[in-house]
Amino acid sequence: MRVKAVITYDGSAFMGFQRQKTTNQTVTSALESALRSLGIDAPIFGSGRTDRGVHATGQVIHFDIPSYWPDLEKLQLNLNRKLNAVSVKHIAETEDTFHARFHAKKRLYRYVFKTQQPSLFERKYISHYEPFDKTVLQKALSYFIGEHDFKYFHKTGSDTHTSVREIFQAFYRERNNCHFIYFEANGFLRSQVRMMVESAMQCARGEMQLSQLREQLECQKKHCYRLAPPEGLYLARVLY
């Protein structure tokens, strides 16, 4: 039986979501280890990878379970007892053909930062940027909306045949002394969100011109090479 689960995790505890040959300190490895301890030897498939230090409040995964685990509430309870820094929010039976990655229609990322230094207890979960021009930031974010070739906005190693993606929403909000940037798209390349955040913030701080951002987006010249810090990034929602 195939099940679909929504999970949340503290990315600061892991080297990333995807399993790796050199370490077991990944979200996938933690989940698979917990499943094996319950007699379920099944690989985990996620809606997408997240980098080291990046969090999730709405990551979606799927895996197959044997017929002797019909009680999914009990399975969720037992998994959460065994997991650290990962929590299963919801689990349900799904179609045998369902795939968490390939069937996803939209993915929403949220980036959180402050202009004052985050407190000791916030540093793993909120990034820091110096004061910026909010109007320029919103203008920069609007450039990303639509279908573009993002070959100058990702790290190498993206497991994909094309770097073209469609951004449905890209906007900025401020609440309770925190700043939020949102991106919703049909998919993202490796570290694409972090590079889009960093390039938009460079424009908002006067370190890069909006015309240079457009040049990079049009694959004419790369101006921004840095990535936004990972601790402020959250995979917030996946829609099917």
Annotated catalytic, 51? yes
What contacts 24+ positions apart, CB below 8 Å, involve 186-189?
186/105, 186/106, 186/107, 187/48, 187/104, 187/107, 187/160, 188/48, 188/107, 188/109, 189/150, 189/153, 189/154, 189/155, 189/158, 189/160, 189/163, 189/165
Total residues found in the chain within this entry: 240
User: Smallest Cα–Cα separation from 178: which of 101, 111, 237?
Assistant: 111
Catalytic residue (one of 41, 51, 71, 133): 51
Q: Which residues are catalytic?
A: 51
